[in-house]
Structure 1
């Protein structure tokens, strides 16, 4: 296929993107890894599940515009789904391959679905880990409920008081996120405290931050037809991986996606919350290799 291992700076739609190829010696259909956030990066994934996957598969990482080690666009408004899909297609052209597999985690799962919907002939198979549907009220309600399940007495009382004010779901959601501290967010995202600690330590080590600009832009530019109503038009063989304790995107979102996709399977991880790739790395990699080998 002509792919070469290494880190690269690739200009996609006029913006320099960080790209890394690993495992090209395996000569398999490349798996393009789509990170979450929105606005996240691959620093952890490339050092954990991604590195393990590269022992048997060709892995392509890229960090989305304005994310991680990639360049920011000139305008804070240039983070739309359309632009992210265009960037991906430019990356695929640079790779010079006929088809790729997609592995998207969290928001990356949602973006993978959008890519497959728009350009179905370019995609082979998909793996979605804890995928999101960020433009739904259900997504916000799952997080609100998630915070209430792990809140201490003080936070629980504050959330209850906010609920009694008759706020809209959007306002309630935003107010709760303004209340929580990093430790509470860790409790939301992880079931295992030691994994949460390692995750936060690696975030600090990376010195990469999420500006929040992508999330703001995506929320201000919703799709004319939300993805939830287009899922049944996506036909690719898809593996959905979800932790049973996921309080962030949650089992309900994964089940909706699974129910509506034409050709999907759902695997539940019994010891994980939002990041089975970190909490059950060995099983995560094993399931993906098995799926791709079928």
Structure 2
């Protein structure tokens, strides 16, 4: 069993339109100075922080894979930029690509054994776009409950909404029409949706998810600007986002996975499977959007699938 080593730090991150010094917080599990490519983990939200993905820290103990977690700019322990709330021209994919580039350079992960990249949800959207550039050092890519385009994501969410009880569908529609998301009926409907499609852990929410919920509640800058006022209402800077045309450019072997009841519906995975040249797609039975936090053996199965994919011979 690999010895547990933990290192935390901050990578200075220069943003041309921001006068103040900015930084990206990171946490390393294991030894990144060896001959094994570390796994860089990009979280979702946007704005959820890294903690809900700490399940993947076990890749170090079980497979000898060092893991690098980080909080994207604007959330968690990285620099917050509340003055940029609502600025959709600022909160764009390119900002987060630049940040990831900066982190890789700061940790000197381009050379030697290189690195793997695992992106969950929005982190997978970012990961697919990043991998399409064929960055130096990228060995393998994992797209965990990611989305090939926001349009397909919206269609997938609508499929799940149409299966909800009629009174809950009405509550969601009414909230969106009025722009009011605080009614008990809306909160009940959203809670139903979250337990069925976001994270099917019992009890809900699992303790590992609490930090992400805290981040998203205490500073809404990134999530509100990029996604919208509600998980089911999208009007942010990602609204017309797509990576579909770029997918054929991904040269790294890629693992795509989602859950059977995932908010990242199968229709949002199909372009990954059809257009990435070297790809494998797995849908985990009975899983939700965060099936790495769920019971029923899903957490263990995901770690096994990801660990074996990242350590298999070329």
- TM-score, with normalisation over the residues of structure 1? 0.82
Residues 30/195 of structure 1: CA separation in 2 closer, same or farther (3 Å cut): farther
Aligned counterpart, 1:270: 285
Whether the 8 Å contact between 1:258 and 1:264 is mirrored in structure 2 is yes
Larger helix fraction of residues: 1
Aligned counterpart, 1:35: 43
Per-residue CA deviations over 1:58-77 (Å, capped at 9, x if unaligned) read 00011100122211135333
- Cα distance, 1:139 vs. partner? 1.1
2:300 is the counterpart of 1:292: no
Whether the 8 Å contact between 1:239 and 1:264 is mirrored in structure 2 is yes
Aligned counterpart, 1:209: 216
SS at match of 1:232: helix
Measured in 1, the distance between the counterparts of 2:199 and 2:48 equals 20
Measured in 2, the distance between the counterparts of 1:235 and 1:271 equals 31
2:99 is the counterpart of 1:91: no
**How much is the aligned-residue C-alpha RMSD, in angstroms?**
3.0
Q: 1:146 aligns with which of 160, 181, 186?
A: 160
SS at match of 2:257: strand
- Cα distance, 1:212 vs. partner? 4.0
Residues 206/253 of structure 1: CA separation in 2 closer, same or farther (3 Å cut): closer
Which segments of 5 or more consecutive residues in structure 2 lack a partner in the other structure? 15-20, 228-234
Measured in 1, the distance between the counterparts of 2:276 and 2:283 equals 17
Q: How many residues align?
A: 275
SS at match of 1:245: coil
SS at match of 1:139: helix
Aligned counterpart, 1:67: 75
- Cα distance, 1:203 vs. partner? 1.0
2:247 is the counterpart of 1:235: no
Residues 244/223 of structure 1: CA separation in 2 closer, same or farther (3 Å cut): closer
SS at match of 1:89: helix
Measured in 2, the distance between the counterparts of 1:124 and 1:37 equals 25
- Cα distance, 1:22 vs. partner? 0.3
Measured in 2, the distance between the counterparts of 1:230 and 1:253 equals 15
SS at match of 1:259: helix
Residues 177/90 of structure 1: CA separation in 2 closer, same or farther (3 Å cut): farther
- TM-score, with normalisation over the residues of structure 2? 0.77
